Every structure is written in C-alpha cells, then in structure tokens.
Chain A
Amino acid sequence: MSSIQGRRTASVVRPATALAGRTTTRRRRLAPLVPYALLAPAVLVLAAILGFPLYRLVSLSFQQYGLKELFAGRGTWIGLRNYREIFGDPFFWTVVARTIVFAALCVGLTMGLGTLVALLLRNLGRTMRTLVTAGLVAAWAMPVLTAVSIWQWMFDFEFGVVNWLLTKLGFEGYAQHNWFDQPLQGFAVIILVVVWGALPFVAITLHAGLTQVPAELEEAARVDGAGAWQVFRHITFPVLKPIFLILATLSTIWDFKVFTQIWVMLNQRPSREYFLLGIWSYSESFGVTRYGKGAAIAVVMVLLLLALTFFYVRQMLKAVGP
C-alpha cells in the first residue's frame, strides 16, 4: 500500500521541482540517492553489530573454541564435529523435545486463556471491565525480573501463600512442599510465570480486535440459532484471525527462547533437568567454556525457530513484497 503512495508522490513532486529551474538539476539527479543516504548509518551499524556476530556464530559452531582458544583469540576448524557431537547425544533430543513442548504449552495457554479473557472483557459491565483491564495492564507492566521474584516468594516452600492456600483448601502434603524438587512441578510454576506475564498483552490486543467484529452479524447468527461456539468459530474468529496469527507468532518467538524466568527462578543454577535449548547453549559456552559447542546449539535453536515461524515470515513477505 505504501509503495503505491510512494509512486504517487514521485509524480506529484516532479513538476513542482522542474518549475524551480536549473539550480535544482543537480539536486534532482541526487534525489534517488536520498533514501540510501538515510539508511546508511543504521544499516552500517546493524551490519557491524548484528551481521558480524551472526557470521561469527556460524563459524564458531564449526570450531573448537575453549579457554585455550579464548586466550589465543582464534579457534581451530573442526568441521561438523560439534554438530555430530550434539546430534549423537540423546540429551540433545530430550532438550529439543522439552523446549518444543514447553513453548507449545506456554503459547497454547497464553492464546487460549487470552482469548477467553478478551471475550470476557466484552461481556462485562463498564466498571468491571475497567477494573479488569487495569489489573491486566498492571501485570503487563511488571518487568520479568520483578515477576520472577514475586512468584518465587509466592511459591516459597516455607512461607509462600500458595502452599498455605493449598493446605487450607484441604490438599494434603503441601506444607513445606518444595515445588522445584520435581522438574514437572517446577516447569508448571515457570509456565505459570511466563503465561502470567504474556497473557495481558494477548487479552488486551484481542479485545481491541474484537471491536472490529460487527455486532449485527453475531446477532443475526444468534437469531438463526447458532450456539456460542458456532458464533465464535464462524463469525468472530475469522475477523480476529490476522491479529491472532501475529500474536501467536510473537508468543512462539518469545516462549521458545525463555531464559531469565528459568535461570533466575532456580537461583542461577538450574539442574540439567531444567535445561531448554537457550539455557543449554548458555551453560555450554559460559559454564564450561565450550563456546564452539554452545554456538552449534544456538545455531540449531535459530534454525528451529525460523522453521516454526516460517509461515508468518512468508505472510509478511507477501504483505510488503514489491
């Protein structure tokens, strides 16, 4: 759309500048270079700080790069050995599967609950809706680090309110219960923290999107005897779909690389049972100084993420294409 506007501008501008006379011919010849000049600083900086590290990441993944190489400032080329090592390691496949399941659960819960809350917001009276929106915005505004410490405290094994509440509700054995002894339960808490932080954005955005759904259409469907699910499935959802897809993709990108929540929640020493791809890559590199292997894991992670979001990228390509 903006490309059409761009062309229209060109046709309007030309006669105006032509009128201005000879002094502007030089300027007119240079005009096509203006966008490149505007872009140059940002592109140069990006090439240096993003392009170069990307290239380095890939080349590192083909190198032996440990403490010795760090001091020498130069790695040794070992071809595919890092990759062979991680692909041959059963732990790799466990971590990949764990990362995918973790991200899928986070995204699924965020999108599902987010949609429910968005629909709920629409059905509330004005006061209640304002209150709930304010609550969502408050949770949304919390920095990740703050959210992690809050939930750490709420799930504290001795004095946390969650164990107190569960005991009060009659569940046995939650007094002094340590949630992080068992990775399954630990991950449940971590997923809760992730979803708690991500849900407000999804719910509020979807609620804004819901205002574009024509009320008459939904009403007509209801008059024709459609149930609540059918109305949602055939009338509401198709309107929401573009927004829904963007949100789902963004959530996938964010939840696939969750790091801080796990790392800080487990006091910067997560056991191997808590490793996702990002944490594993970090701990191979900075924990045991095997930067080459860490880089190989990171490359795999990037490729997986690109594969998962391929559909979205293709949509965007179509939208901005020539």
Chain B
Amino acid sequence: MTRKRLHRIGYNAAAVLVLLVTVFPIYWMVATGFKRGPDILSFEPRWLPIPGTLENYRSAVGKPHFLEDVRNSLVVVTATVLIALALAFLAALAAGRFHFRGRAALIVMLIVVQMVPLEALIIPIYLSLDRVGQTDKLVGIVVTYLTFVLPFSIWTLRGFIVNIPEELEEAAMVDGCTRAGAFRRILFPLVAPGLVATAVFSFILVWNDYLIAYVLLRSPEKQTLGIWLASFTTNHGTEWGGVMAGSTLFAIPAVVFFLLVQRRVVSGLTAGAVKG
C-alpha cells in the first residue's frame, strides 16, 4: 500500500516536471509579450506580467510591411492548399480505390519523394525560378511549396480514403449507382472531414516554413510572416518584448488550426502502422 503510494508520488512528480518543461516556455513567451520594458530587462525575473502593457504588440504590428506580410502569407497559404487539395484528391482516389498497373510504383514514389529534403532541392528550384523571373514572386513560392505539400496531401488523403469501407460504394453500385455517382454520393461526404484535415495540415506546413520564403523572397513588401518574425532577431541587442509579442501572434493561427486536427494525426498514424 505504501509502496503504491510512493509510486504515485513519483509519477506525479515526474508529470509536474514534464508539464513545467513543456508549458513554461510558452507561458514565458506570452508573459514577456505583455511586460513593460524594465520588467523584461531585469536580472531578477518578474514572473507575472503585472502591471502589463500592450506596447510590445503595438511595436510588433507597427513594424514596416506587417500588413503586407499578413496578406502575402494568406495568399500563399490559401493558393498552395487549394491547388494541392484539388490535385491530391483525384490522385488519392486513384491510389486508394483503383487497381491498376504501376500503382505500387506510384505509392513507393510518394514515400521516397517525401524523403528528399527540400533543403537540397532549394538550389535547383531557385536557379530555375530565377531563369524564368519568378524569384521574389508569390507564384514562384506557391509552386515551390507544392513540391512538398502535394506529395504529403496525396499520401494523407489516400490514408483517409483507404479507411472508408469500400462495401458502401459497392452497395450503391449494386443498387444502380454509377461508379462516379457512388464516389459523389457516398465517398465524397465520408471523406470530407479528411479533406478538411489534410487542408489544415498543409496550412500548418506552409505557415511554419522559413527556409523557402527566406531564399526566394527578397524585397520586404513581398515577404511572408515567417520572415517578418525572424527579422526581429537579426540585430544585436534584441528587443525581447516585441519578439515575444510577434512570436505569440505568429503562433496563434498555427495553434488554433492544429488543435482542430491534432487527434487525427495520431489516430491516422497508429491505424496505418497496424495495417502496414
């Protein structure tokens, strides 16, 4: 009995430690964002942002080109996600529902392609885009994002499609539905949540990118929010209040979207692992 209690205490102590390590950095970011200058630059940490201020947020949002950067990010993310989703849905349908020559090769290609690091491909992509005058253009960056968002989307959507029992469509076809009709009336409504989840994942992938935007977009009015955020930290003697406020703002969309689909990441992966 006492042994059990000892265990309980040990586990809970470990849990508190894990909780501290995961949550404290995030708390510290949010708190610093609301602190006044002297409270940030104090040798004895001030644990609470009281009395608080919105000055840091004002200065973050007031950085030159902030609104343009927000607009650029939204345009780039939306375009990438929509194009990838449309192309990926058709391809995933083929890979998940049809049996055809070359299907295995296609799936292997999808896996291998996702292993090629973009860090390596950025050189030829940059040179090719430069040749056709598409560096420092939003079109160029959308095309570049598609190189990893598209294979990822096909792979994820295929997973969702494979998990929908095919018998449902077969039943519809036996009842006289055409194959296209069965897809439209049966499969599509069932896979719609998967489409949303894939879109959200792709959104997060693109939103979190730094390297590609950094290489491809040079002029300040063309840049995306990631570059806006990283530009805070370049000069020495960083203004930490502004950085933390900016980091918080940058994180909010990613966090909100992530919370919507987080459960699906895990269930998708474990289901796949068991099947494979």
Verify if A106 is at the interface (C-beta below 8 Å from B): no
- Point out the residues of chain A lying under 8 angstroms from B236, CB to CB: 267
Taken together as a complex, chains A and B put the C-alpha atoms of A5 and B103 apart, in Å, by: 14
A150-B247 contact given A145-B208, A253-B115, A319-B276, CB 8 Å threshold: yes
Partner of B21, one of A16, A34, A196: A196
Q: Do A278 and B117 touch (CB < 8 A)?
A: yes
The answer to whether A1 touches B275 (Cβ under 8 A) is yes
Q: Establish whether residues B251 and A143, one from each chain, have CB atoms under 8 Å apart when the complex forms.
A: yes
Beta-carbon contacts of A279-298 to B below 8 Å, as 1s and 0s?
00110011000010011001
Task: Say whether A52 contacts B128, CB under 8 Å.
Answer: yes
Decide: B144 and A139 in contact? CB cutoff 8 A: no
Interface string of A1-16 (1 = CB under 8 A from B): 1110111111011001
Name the residue in B7, B42, B120 with the highest tally of chain A Cβ atoms < 10 Å from its Cβ: B120
Partner of A139 from B26, B121, B122, B150 at Cβ < 8 Å: B26
A-side interface mostly: helix
Q: Is the CB of B15 within 8 A of A128?
A: yes
Is A144's CB within 8 Å of the partner chain B? yes
The range of chain A's interface size is 35 or more
Interface digits, A71-103 against B, CB 8 Å rule (1 contact, 0 not)? 001000000000000000000000000000000
Are A301 and B117 in contact, with the CB atoms below 8 A? yes
A16 to B172 CA separation, bound complex (whole angstroms): 11
Give the distance in Å from the alpha carbon of A309 to the alpha carbon of B131 in the complex.
Answer: 34
Q: In the docked arrangement, what's the CA distance between A165 and B246, Å?
A: 25
A305 at the interface (CB under 8 A from B): yes
Asked if A215 CB lies within 8 Å of chain B CBs, one says no
Per a CB cutoff under 8 Å, which of B124, B162, B179 touches A60? B124
Shortest Cβ distance from residue B13 to the other chain A in the assembled complex, whole angstroms: 10
Contact between chains at B115 and A309 (CB < 8 Å) = yes
- List the one stretch of B51-59, B91-99, B186-194 in contact with chain A: B91-99
Residue of A nearest to B180 (CB): A34
**In the complex, which of the residues B106, B173, B276 contacts A316, with contact meaning CB atoms closer than 8 Å?**
B276
A181 to B98, CA, bound (A): 57
Which 5 pairs between the two chains have the least Cβ-Cβ distance?
A6-B99, A298-B120, A56-B124, A35-B98, A42-B91
Interchain residue pairs with CB less than 8 A apart (25): A13-B179, A16-B174, A35-B98, A43-B91, A46-B113, A46-B151, A49-B125, A49-B144, A49-B150, A50-B113, A50-B116, A53-B128, A53-B147, A54-B116, A70-B127, A125-B8, A132-B15, A144-B208, A149-B243, A159-B240, A196-B25, A200-B22, A242-B276, A306-B115, A316-B276
Could you list 4 further interchain pairs (A-B, Cβ under 8 angstroms) beyond the known A137-B259, A142-B251?
A: A13-B179, A143-B251, A150-B244, A153-B28
Residues on A facing B (Cβ under 8 Å): 1-3, 5-10, 12-13, 16, 32, 34-36, 38-39, 41-43, 45-46, 49-50, 52-54, 56-57, 60, 65, 70, 73, 117, 120, 123-125, 128-129, 131-132, 135-147, 149-154, 156, 158-159, 161, 164, 196, 200-201, 204-205, 208-209, 212, 242-243, 246, 253, 256-257, 259-260, 263-264, 267-268, 278, 281-282, 285-286, 291, 294-295, 298-299, 301-302, 305-306, 309, 313, 315-317, 319-322
Q: Which residues of B contact A (CB under 8 A)?
A: 7-8, 11-12, 14-15, 18-19, 21-23, 25-26, 28-29, 32, 40-45, 87-88, 90-91, 93-100, 103-104, 106-108, 111-113, 115-117, 119-128, 130-131, 143-144, 146-147, 150-151, 154, 162, 166, 169-170, 173-174, 176, 179, 204, 207-208, 210-211, 215, 226, 229-230, 232-234, 236, 238, 240, 243-244, 246-248, 250-251, 254-255, 258-259, 262, 265-267, 269-270, 272-276
